A = this chain, B = another copy of it.
Amino acid sequence: MRVLMVEDDLRVASALAAALRRRNHVVIAATTASEATAAGPVDLVLLDLNLPDRDGLELCRQIRRRNEDVAIILVTARSEERDRVAGLRAGADDYVVKPFSMAELQARIEAVMRRTARAARVETTLEVGDLRVDLNARRVWLSDREVSLTRKEFELLMALARQAGTVVPRDRLLMDIWQTTWNSGHTLDVHVAALRGKLDDAGLVETVRGVGYRLRSG
């Protein structure tokens, strides 16, 4: 398993890394937030909240935003209840307080990975009716004809196709794609219109007034 370890205390880091490697994990060590964001895809992140260059919680949120599936365990000296709550709300799966034993950390890693494994439908392509979306290649076909989409259009379609058939609220879309919930102009509407145009929409993207949009699934 690929583990990203973000820890700036070198003594802790080397001991932890050694222990993880003994358990046959591939360890990618980072000591700063910027190093962490540069790391490739991983299955698990062990994240120290006290980082030299950036707030750990903010980094946690960013990682979660980028990847819904990765397991995140916060490893930190902050033991207050409000810290634990804040950490979990930032998208972490678990919270381990220093000092900790490797046995407990390993048990928590296993518990989290059990859940991840259960939830991990490795979706590489979504199919909805005549529509086929390849998430890795970022390509879209509409009944054999390929459709070329811009970045925003693709992200929008992806957000809708992931939950095809159910209404995705406007603010949810704004959060997912623009990382904001404040919609000044009609940014979202404009991109929906563009998407509809390219899908020569026969009512594929349905609007639900006052709520959001829905990709027709049946």
Contacts and interface: CB of A to CB of B under 8 A. Distances in A.
A25 to B, nearest CB: 17
Interface string A138-179: 100000000000110000000000010111000000000000
A81 interface: yes
Contact of A88 (B71, B85, B107, B118): B107
Contacts of A209: 150-151
A85 to B, nearest CB: 4
Contact of A104 (B85, B112, B114): B85
A103 B116 contact: no
A9 interface: no
A21 interface: no
A167 B137 contact: yes
Contacts of A1: none
A198 interface: no
Given A111-B88, A118-B115, A119-B115, A81 B94 contact: no
Contacts of A116: 115, 118-119
18 contacts: A68-B118, A84-B107, A88-B104, A89-B107, A92-B111, A93-B112, A93-B115, A115-B115, A115-B116, A115-B118, A124-B166, A134-B166, A136-B165, A137-B166, A137-B167, A150-B209, A151-B210, A151-B211
